[in-house]
Amino acid sequence: MLKQRQGWRFALAVGVCILVASRCWADDLSSEPLEVRLWLAMSRAVSSTDAIGREASVAYRSPSSDNPAATDVRGVEPVNERGFFCAGTHHIVFSDGAWIAAGDVNGFIRLNNAGTVSLGYIHIGLPDGMTLQGFNDDLRSNDFLFKYGRQIHPDIYVGVGFRVSDLKLDYGDLFMGAPRSTQDHSVSGSFTLGGLWRPSPNWTIGALAGAGWIRSDIGGVVHLPGGPVPFSAPFQLDLTTRTVNAKTGFGWRAVPALTLYVDAQYFRLDNSMTSADTGRFYFGGDIRLSRRASLMAGSSVDTRTHVSASSGLSINLMKPGMLRSTLLKLSYQYNPLPEIRQEFGTGNLVSATMVFSF
């Protein structure tokens, strides 16, 4: 009877999340500039080697959660030492041959009873940026992350996070039928406040709210045909874009070896030229196969019917009982960046990360 009551609670949570996401409906983004759709795509959690429905959850009790409050949760993951360091590689191969490569390093250190600090760095590049329209795009991005979480009650955690990004994007497209070359240099920052509550040993409830800005220097030329000599019209634009992010999620340990997660997210960006709202719904979970291995799976759908799915495997390479542990994480994700699919086609993401505890 207890499991049935918990199952109904989880089903109710799923229904609430679907309702919240469905109310965030917005128009299609196909007419928006590439940089707008790229910012929306990069607001997704794509840098962690995990299944999106689990790692993206604000109720996931691990430092790799989107929720900075989860940084200080202890006694859950196999890696549960004073600190850890990890390095990962991530590659997205699109259906038309374009290729995004990323690498990240991050780690945390526990400050005894004063909380946990986490630092991270992510580099993203575009080794092959040939688009479906025949333009050769180039992308370079560097992100720096800081998170701090602390337990303020046996069942309550709070945290803050800050992220700074430097992005350079050179791309081509068509403007009123004429070829256009655009260069965009953007510097952005975002602040996140999160909370996590464990009302029972089998339930976690998380939430976060965030706000940020993107300062962009955009310039380029439109190549207009006409006469024997083509005419080029230069343009220049300085733009400040504001972002808002809100997310809530639930985690339920159905049985000791199975944990399920469900989340709803609202993300908005707006500037003097455009605005875009999107709602996303995530679900996923993990199955503990043994003390040394677990399977992960998850999916997401947004209010424009973009669907993404992923799976993964986590293996502890050290024998149980040893003081230190080394994790190998492998994952695959289908359609990780749907907002830029009209330029590159459907993507397939493969990731691998080594995690070292100390």
Mean pLDDT, rounded, for 60-71: 87
Give me the long-range contacts of 133-136 (CB less than 8 A, separation at least 24): 133/172, 133/173, 133/174, 133/343, 135/171, 135/172, 135/173, 136/172
Task: List, in order of start, the domains of the chain with CATH numbers.
Answer: 2-357 (2.40.160.40)
Contact 62, 76 (CB under 8 A): yes
How far is residue 56's CA from residue 225's CA, in Å, rounded to a whole number? 47
Q: Tokens 């070829």 appear where? A: 179
**pLDDT tens by residue, 214-245:** 999 999 999 887 655 567 888 899 999 999 99
CB 74: neighbour CB atoms within 10 A?
A: 11
pLDDT band at 22 (very low <50, low <70, confident <90, very high): very low
Mean pLDDT, rounded, for 114-125: 92
pLDDT at 176 over 60: yes
How far is residue 328's CA from residue 292's CA, in Å, rounded to a whole number? 10
94 or 108, higher pLDDT: 94
**Mean of pLDDT over the chain:** 85
Q: What share of the chain is helix, strand, coil (3-state, %, to 5)?
A: 15, 60, 30
pLDDT of residue 26: 41
pLDDT of residue 304: 82
Give me the long-range contacts of 225-234 (CB less than 8 A, separation at least 24): 225/178
Contact 129, 136 (CB under 8 A): yes
How far is residue 196's CA from residue 65's CA, in Å, rounded to a whole number? 11
pLDDT at 164 over 90: yes
Give me the long-range contacts of 82-85 (CB less than 8 A, separation at least 24): 82/109, 82/110, 82/358, 83/107, 83/108, 83/109, 83/110, 83/357, 83/358, 84/108, 84/355, 84/356, 84/357, 84/358, 85/355, 85/356, 85/358
pLDDT band at 248 (very low <50, low <70, confident <90, very high): very high
pLDDT band at 305 (very low <50, low <70, confident <90, very high): confident
Mean pLDDT, rounded, for 57-67: 86
pLDDT of residue 226: 67
How far is residue 333's CA from residue 308's CA, in Å, rounded to a whole number? 7
Contact 49, 312 (CB under 8 A): yes
Compute CA distances 52 → 48, 281, 299, whole Å: 9, 11, 6
Contact 106, 84 (CB under 8 A): no
pLDDT band at 8 (very low <50, low <70, confident <90, very high): low
DSSP letters spanning 108-147: EEE-TTS-EEEEEEEEEEEEE-B-TTS-B-EEEEEEEEEE
pLDDT of residue 357: 79
Contact 123, 151 (CB under 8 A): no
Kindly state the helix (H) or strand (E) to which residue 156 belongs, with its residue range.
strand 156-175
pLDDT of residue 49: 76
Work out whether the CA dihedral 302, 305, 306, 310 comes out positive or negative.
positive
pLDDT band at 13 (very low <50, low <70, confident <90, very high): low
